[in-house]
Amino acid sequence: MKPIRLVSGFLTVGGWTMLSRILGFVRDAMILAYLGTGPAYQAFVVAFRLPNMFRRFFAEGAFNTAFVPIFSKKIEAGEDAETFASDALSGLASVLIALTLIAHLIMPWLVFALASGFAGSEEFALSVEFGRITFPYILFISIAALLSGVLNATGRFAAAAAAPVLLNVMLIGGMYVGALATGLDVATALIWTIPLAGLGQMALVWIAASRAGLSIRLKRPVWTPELKDLVRIAVPAALAGGVVQVNLLVGQQVASYFDRAVGWLFAADRLYQLPLGVVGIAIGIVLLPDLSRRLKAEDIEGSRDALSRGAEMSLLLTIPAAVALVAIPVPLVSVLFERGATTAEDTQAIALAVAVYGLGLPAFVMQKIYQPLYFARGDTKTPFRYALVCMLVNAVLAIGLAPVIGWIATALATTVAGWAMVVQLGLGTRPMGEMARFDDRFRRRLPRIAAAALIMGAALVPLAWALGPWLAMPGIRFAALFVLVLGGAVVYFGAGHLIGAFRLGDLRRVLRRG
């Protein structure tokens, strides 16, 4: 993959992810407006997180981490990659069908494991009911994730990146139907739309794969040597994914003992996930198959260039986003979420979590840069060991600090554990040689990017104060937020150009080529 193709893929995934996250804001704002942060919203958070947790564990985490490098190398070597993908798809589907059936039987215990603080409350009964409805989503979205990996490995990023857009469009439509239909409430309509949206996403990427000439089909599962290698690599990745999910579980367990905290943290998570998804996840999706092919071709110089440009592009956009989340969280949250049943108290709590998550945003993105260096080599054991350390850090801080600082200990523990993971991943790349080294251009520009972002943050605070009356005024508050964000962008890119963090002309050329 040439550097410009890497950038083009990043822009494709990032652009679709940006649209998805914008629609996700619309979706989340509607959910909060209709449900507030009461029992139905808390139950929705638990029920929606349940299949997503297993999805990250099986599909996007363990399975795709092992599958994409093997599939990419088979393509590079001219081997029968499609048969391997069909075998992997059939095996994954079989496991997930069994998992779905078991989950329906033990749903009360699953909910208790996620939020024991709900026990005996209205939230618990609703979570069990909603969980049974939403859990089949894991089957559809996991198959979609594997097919997305096939498309990404062949340099086709658009359909896979567009699938989450369909999810949000369907959820928004479902809420409208629930609000307008007689005898149907918004929460019920929202919950039933989730598995339907998963089916739609699966259909979208399956059709895209077929149109691309990729013959991937379900068949009777067969245990092959290739699947044995896949499982051998995937098991440590699954354990690492399990550690990440344990971190989420610990955080939600702690939050479930504080009134409305589960909802506050979920809303804050949605806000910081915008830059993380647009930048970090996008570059990680593009970088993994690229590095896998370069490793197979022994293209060390190309690998180093791809790594450096990916990190440079990611941090160029992530660091200012992190500074903005820390500097102006209240205006962001109030404009995006405070309406209907969502109160000013909710805004203050969500904004506090946003600021804490913002401190960890560069770490979450750098994980996406470092991890492909391991996964491209088929090394999932080392990240697993690092994840165990982070699990311990997260649990000690979340549980230990909760009696002292309350529910926000969960967000703080997530951020500290994120930085602990980056430090370990960075140190662990030393034996990899030149392929894992950032080049001189990256090292020269990184501190200047940080300086430009701090200048922007210093400008945002007084600008937000000046726009305060308009940010609180219905009808023009979105326009005022746009002016605030635009002002910060002008300061950042202007300062960055002047101090040599980047050249605006270079950025324009990259965007035109992309």
180 falls within a domain: yes
22 and 148 fall within a common domain: yes
The pLDDT, as a whole number, for residue 58 is: 58
pLDDT tens-digit series, residues 59-89: 555 556 667 667 777 776 666 777 777 887 7
Q: With contact defined as beta carbons under 8 Å apart, do 37 and 260 qualify?
A: yes
Among the listed residues 154, 165, 292, the one whose alpha carbon sits nearest the alpha carbon of residue 210? 154
Whether 512 and 415 share a structural domain? no
Burial of 26 (0-12, 13-18, 19+ CB in 10 A): middle
pLDDT at 1: 43
Question: What average pLDDT does range 135-142 have in this prediction?
Answer: 88
pLDDT digits (tens, 9 = 90+) for 250-285: 877 888 888 888 878 878 887 877 777 666 555 655
Question: What percent of the chain has pLDDT above 70?
Answer: 81
| Residue 218 is assigned to a structural domain of this protein | yes
Q: Is the model's pLDDT at 5 over the cut of 90? A: no
The pTM of the full predicted model, rounded to 2 decimals, is 0.68
Residue 488 pLDDT class (50, 70, 90 cuts): very high
Of the two residues 314 and 488, the one the predictor is more confident about is 488
Contact, 75 vs 150, CB < 8 A? Answer: no
Higher pLDDT, residue 16 or 401: 401
If asked whether residues 234 and 278 sit together in one domain, one would say: yes
How many independent structural domains does the chain possess?
A: 2
Same domain assignment for residues 179 and 128: yes
Q: Which residue has the higher pLDDT, 317 or 7?
A: 317
Question: Measured in Å, how far apart are the chain's first and last C-alpha atoms?
Answer: 14
Report pLDDT for 377.
Answer: 73
CA distances from 328 to 324, 441, 463, 487 (A): 6, 31, 10, 13
Q: Are residues 347 and 234 in the same domain?
A: yes
Whether residue 479 is found in the same domain as residue 401: no
| 445 domain residue, yes or no | no
Position 114 scores a pLDDT of 78
3-state helix vs strand vs coil in the chain, percent to 5: 85, 0, 15
d(CA 312, CA 449): 9
Q: What is the mean pLDDT of residues 485-506?
A: 86
Q: Tens digit of pLDDT for each residue in 173-223?
A: 888 888 887 556 888 889 999 999 989 988 888 888 877 777 777 777 777
Compare 25 and 178 and report the one with higher pLDDT: 178
pLDDT at 272: 79
List, for residues 377-436, the tens digit of each pLDDT value: 777 778 878 888 988 999 899 999 999 999 999 999 989 998 999 999 989 888 877 777
Give the end of a domain, one of 405, 438, 471: 438
High-pLDDT (> 90) share of the chain, %:
23
Query: Does a structural domain hold residue 444?
Result: no
pLDDT tens per residue across span 330-383: 999 998 888 767 788 888 999 999 999 999 989 888 887 887 778 777 777 788
DSSP string, 248-288: HHHHHHHHHTSTTHHHHHHHHHHHHHHHIIIIIIHHHHHHH
Q: With 0-12 CB in 10 A as exposed, 13-18 as middle and 19+ as buried, what is 56?
A: buried
Q: Is 359 within a domain?
A: yes
Residue 369 in any domain: the answer is: yes
pLDDT for 408 equals: 93
- The answer to whether residue 463 scores a pLDDT higher than 60 is yes
pLDDT at 278 (0 to 100): 63
- Tell me, yes or no, whether 406 and 495 share the same domain: no
Same domain, yes or no, for 91 and 121? yes
Task: Looking at the structure, tell me whether residues 329 and 374 fall in a common domain.
Answer: yes
Q: Is the pLDDT of residue 514 over 60?
A: no
Structure confidence at residue 179 (pLDDT):
80
Question: 501 by DSSP, 3-state: which?
Answer: coil
Of the listed ranges 173-177, 448-452, 454-458, the least confidently predicted one is 173-177
Among 343, 20, 38, 49, which Cα is nearest to 186's?
Answer: 38
Position 450 in a domain: no
Q: What is the pLDDT of residue 3?
A: 45
Residue recorded with tokens 């979706």: 27
96 and 243 fall within a common domain: yes
Report the chain's mean pLDDT, rounded to a whole number: 80
Give the residue numbers spanning the domain of 71: 3-438
Residues 384 and 512 in one domain: no
Residue that is last in its domain, among 385, 407, 438:
438
Residue 397 counted as domain residue: yes
- Can you spell out the DSSP letters for 434-461? GGG---HHHHHHHHHHHHHHHHHHHHHH
Are 69 and 23 within one domain? yes
Cβ atoms of 209 and 158 closer than 8 Å: no
Q: Kindly state the average pLDDT of the residues 298-314.
A: 76
